Amino acid sequence: MVSKTDKSYLIAKARELGFVLFGTSKAEYLEKDANFLKEWLAQGKQGTMSWMNHHFDKRTNPSLLQDNCKTVISLAFRYFPRFPQPVDGTYKIAKYAYGKDYHKLLRKKLKVLVDILIDEFGSESSRGFVDSAPIMEKAWAARSGLGWIGKNTNLINRKEGSFLFLCEILTDLEFDQDLPGKDLCKTCTQCIDACPTNALDQPYQLDSTRCISYMTIERKEEINPEFHGQLQDWIFGCDICQDVCPWNRNSVSHDEPKLDPRIELLKMTKPSWEYLLKEEFDELFAGSAVKRAGFEGVLKNKKALTKPVL
């Protein structure tokens, strides 16, 4: 059996699975983050995402989510694409949704690590989470030394940038704690300046109701006419605040084939999208996060890409 404190062994196994960042933090109440979240919710900046109001106590205290939780293990997996969409001449989807849904992919990888914690470290209570429970992923990632939460509200690592999937393991084992990430945004405001809908109404805070990703994925109703013509051809999600971030200039692409887009997607032009049939949509995005919006949702988003004629 591996020593219960031998974190280096677990890190090596995580890297074998493709995780590029690994950090640990003591499981405890997130007082500062809880206060921020409470005020943010009170301001209604979550929009129609009512689920964010649920399980507040569990969201801010992992000990209420997992029995005898002592450590939060945070991990990150690259998703910067090997084969990006053309820059011009087509409607755009967020890079994270190019290939197969990442939830299933990372859940299987986390299970390997959880099994190691149980079988080789002697854990009696360990569980992995991939955007599937009320956990403040970015807060824990920052506390675990994976990076810092930038002015665009994304987790940023000075080497890897921000095109990263985050996930966690809650465990009853105790490990040495990593130092929190240091904020390196400094005076930069490129993400704030580049947002066409002013969703980053102040540094480090996102107004979801003005965010293109929210409007094209989470919001099911028609997009407010106020934002028509401001979506800059984003039809599902948005990467603007990440694309302009200086820390993403040297982003390294993933090497996971399941995250690669179908070749048909890379060939899509605006006319292709205009005449896309539901059957073609279902085939093109089978197993993709784009199915969350659905064919009708994409049609709704497309209506808002141009300004209405007055």
Residues 43 and 70 placed together within one structural domain of the fold: yes
**280 shares its domain with 234:** yes
- Whether residues 149 and 195 fall in one domain: no
Task: Let me know if residue 181 belongs to a domain.
Answer: no
Same structural domain for residues 241 and 125? Answer: no
What is the span of the domain harbouring residue 44? Answer: 7-82+99-171
Over the stretch 108-142, which tens digit does the pLDDT of each residue have? 999 999 999 999 999 999 999 998 789 999 999 99
Residues 60 and 130 both lie in one domain: yes
Same domain, 72 and 201: no
Per annotation, catalytic residue among 6, 33, 67, 131: 131
237, 108: one domain: no
Q: What is the pLDDT along the chain (310 residues), one digit of tens a residue?
A: 667 668 999 999 999 999 999 999 999 999 999 999 999 999 999 988 888 888 899 999 999 998 899 999 999 999 999 999 998 889 999 999 999 999 999 999 999 999 999 999 999 999 999 987 899 999 999 999 999 999 999 999 999 999 999 999 999 999 999 999 999 999 999 999 999 999 998 999 999 999 999 999 999 899 999 999 999 999 999 999 999 999 999 999 999 999 999 999 999 999 999 999 999 999 999 999 999 899 999 999 988 987 664 5
Both 157 and 34 in one domain: the answer is: yes
Looking at residue 155, what is its pLDDT? 98
Residue 227 covered by a domain: yes
Residues 163 and 211 in one domain: no
Is 131 a residue of the active site?
yes
The pLDDT of residue 88: 85
Q: Which amino acid is at 138?
A: K
44 shares its domain with 120: yes
> Does one domain contain both 138 and 239?
no
- 57 lies in some domain: yes
Does 182 reside within a domain?
Answer: no
Task: Give the count of domains, the chain.
Answer: 2
In-domain check, residue 310: no
Question: Of 160, 134, 159, 162, nearest to 150 (Cα)?
Answer: 162
Beta strand 234-236 with 92-93 is parallel
pLDDT for residue 72: 97
Residue 94 lies in a domain: no
Asked if residue 23 and residue 77 are part of one domain, the reply reads yes
Q: Is residue 273 part of a domain?
A: yes
In a domain, residue 180? The reply is no
